[in-house]
A and B are shown apart, each in its own frame.
Chain A
């Protein structure tokens, strides 16, 4: 199975910050990567697919990049509603796998 490793596992940030989360795949997955946001007690929400395509309705402050094994999710200007846990997800091969999550907390 493709192992997905996110870094960092958690960090603190302030509103207005530019934040970047990294996801590394254990093998080449081309651009078959999605990013999800999950808030406490809520279902995950799709933010980005195909590594860099923004899902309809997702604010443009979110962006994704990368291909192969290294990917990033960037929030250009962190808003209060962006404090959450973020997961990367590869859909290149079954079994599908997720990263362990990155929790973005209020500084």
Chain B
């Protein structure tokens, strides 16, 4: 059974930093691309970041580019999101997702097939 368990969410002041973790089990983590998606309270879903199975390819939403960094440790079956220079608008429930998909013509197409339960990040003074 696929399990994704996020942790690390907390209350932090604007300008602060936080590191989120996602512990994965039930699938071959080293072969899987992963993503982070967030949801502000009462709002819709916003994709945040993607990392390929081997960590060589990373993408970020414009809203977090330069402030957030995604990484994965295949030896520890863990995904991370380092969040720096946090803003009030980063307040959200952060989900990690296991991605499935395929590559064709030099381009890869990935979507989340399993989601964790999320970890809450609150940025407030």
- Interface of A toward B, CB cutoff 8 Å: 1, 32, 34, 36, 38, 42-46, 49, 55, 87, 89, 91-92, 94-101
Contact = CB atoms under 8 A, between A and B. Distances in A.
A34 B111 contact: yes
- Interface residue SS majority, chain B: strand
B47 A96 contact: yes
Given A94-B59, A95-B59, A95-B61, A87 B45 contact: yes
Nearest to B45: A98
Contacts, number: 55
A95 B58 CA distance: 11
B95 interface: yes
A91 B109 contact: yes
Interface of B: 35, 37, 44-47, 50, 59-62, 95, 100-101, 109-118
B44 A98 contact: yes
B44 A87 contact: yes
A101 B116 CA distance: 19
Contact of B46 (A34, A36, A92, A98): A98
Interface centre among A1, A43, A99 (most CB of B within 10 A): A43
Contacts of B44: 87, 98-101
Given A91-B101, A95-B61, A46 B46 contact: no
- Interface residue SS majority, chain A: loop
B112 A46 contact: yes
Contact of B62 (A34, A46, A95): A95
B121 to A, nearest CB: 16
Given A95-B47, A101-B44, 7 more contacts: A36-B45, A38-B45, A44-B95, A44-B112, A45-B115, A89-B47, A94-B59
B113 A96 contact: no
A83 B37 CA distance: 23
A89 B47 CA distance: 10
Nearest to A95: B61
A36 B62 CA distance: 23
